[in-house]
Amino acid sequence: MDATIATFLIQDGLTSGAIYALLGLALVLVFSVTRVIFIPQGEFVAYGALTLAVLDGGRMPATASLLVCFGLFSFLVDLWAMRREMTGARALRSAMIDLVLPAAIYIAALLLIPLGLPSLAKALLTIVIIAPMGLYVYRVAYRPLADASVLVLLIASVGVHLAMMGLGLAFFGAEGLRARPLSTGNYALGPLLVTAQSLWIYAATIAIIVGLYLFFEKTLPGKALRATAVNRLGARLIGVPTQFTGVTAFVLAATIGAVSGVLIGPITTIYYDTGFLIGLKGFVAAIIGGLSSFPITAIAAIGVGIIESFTSFFFSSYKEIIVFGLIIPVLIWLSLGVGQHEEE
């Protein structure tokens, strides 16, 4: 192996590692705040990438209709939950969030798409369509289970994953799609040839990490989310509503998923089920971070990306086996750390 191949592989690993890092961070975020192991995270990636690809074709993405469906479903669930103590104000609030918001996004998309948007605007539109889905997924699937055990929530996550993947298939079909890059062009960096898209990926990853850091360290809602992760009862006692933290965590996760989709869509062909596998790589990283540490997760994700890029070069057929096999020793190591402090 010569230096050129090595640098190429490292760059390739960094690029996918950055995406895995975003997903890993979202998984850690959701788990630490809500105890949900969010397997469907990858579906948001697929939705994002596929939406962008359809927008590239100047057509209306199916996810916009899907969003309206999600909202409608969520509204029905809200009404059912409120059946005993319905008030006009609460019904109106639900209607605004569940019906008006998705309808507004749908109409905006309908009006904007024929204008022939620039790529950045298409990316933003994609994110605006996908992000609110986090809210509805939380509302419909997880909030009724808020007091359930981690295991029940995990099984529910598998259910949500199946449903969302199936919807992806129904709305986008089995064909893979590839989006156009945000900007084309290459930059020579010494011996390295860096594509503009990978620069976008690095920049977006860094921006999101910095943004998350500022949110969690400097704002009161961010601190309230951290507080919930550290001590659930303590957070409830100071008046942080469980619903608020859940919604925030899921919307952030969906947003991060959509961004990842927008970033990865142009560098690889995405099928309705690709998101799951990408998401699982983020999982490997999040698990290495013990589902609790943001920095370890980010570093582990880069590691996963680089290992994957090297294994796919040297023993490509064993790539998945190695990456997933890698989790097991980590899990054992993590389990040794727990177990000591059971309830007293």
d(CA 244, CA 255): 16
Q: Does 188 bind another protein (CB under 8 A)?
A: no
Reduced to 3 states, what is the DSSP secondary structure of residue 292?
A: coil
Q: Does 313 bind another protein (CB under 8 A)?
A: no
Q: Does 146 bind another protein (CB under 8 A)?
A: no
Q: Does 90 bind another protein (CB under 8 A)?
A: no
- Tell which one of 91, 95, 169, 196 touches another protein (CB under 8 A): 169
Q: Does 342 bind another protein (CB under 8 A)?
A: yes
CA dihedral 28, 33, 39, 40 (to 10 degrees): -110
* Residues 104-143, mask of contacts with another protein (x by CB under 8 A): -------------------------------------x--
d(CA 272, CA 228): 34
d(CA 44, CA 246): 17
> Cβ closer to another protein: 163 or 307?
163
* Residues 250-289, mask of contacts with another protein (x by CB under 8 A): ------------------------------x--xx--x--
Q: Give the orientation angle of helix 41-56 with respect to helix 3-34, to 10 degrees.
A: 120
Q: Does 227 bind another protein (CB under 8 A)?
A: yes
The stretches of the chain forming alpha helices (DSSP H) are 3-34, 41-56, 62-81, 88-95, 101-112, 119-137, 150-172, 196-218, 220-230, 232-237, 242-264, 274-288, 294-314, 319-325, 327-337
Q: Does 180 bind another protein (CB under 8 A)?
A: no
Decide if 235 contacts 245 (C-beta within 8 A).
yes
Q: Does 82 bind another protein (CB under 8 A)?
A: no
Binding site for another protein (CB under 8 A): 37, 141, 144-145, 148, 150-152, 154-156, 158-167, 169-170, 173-174, 220, 223-224, 226-227, 230-231, 233-241, 280, 283-284, 287, 291, 317-318, 320-321, 324-325, 327-328, 331-332, 334-336, 338-339, 341-344
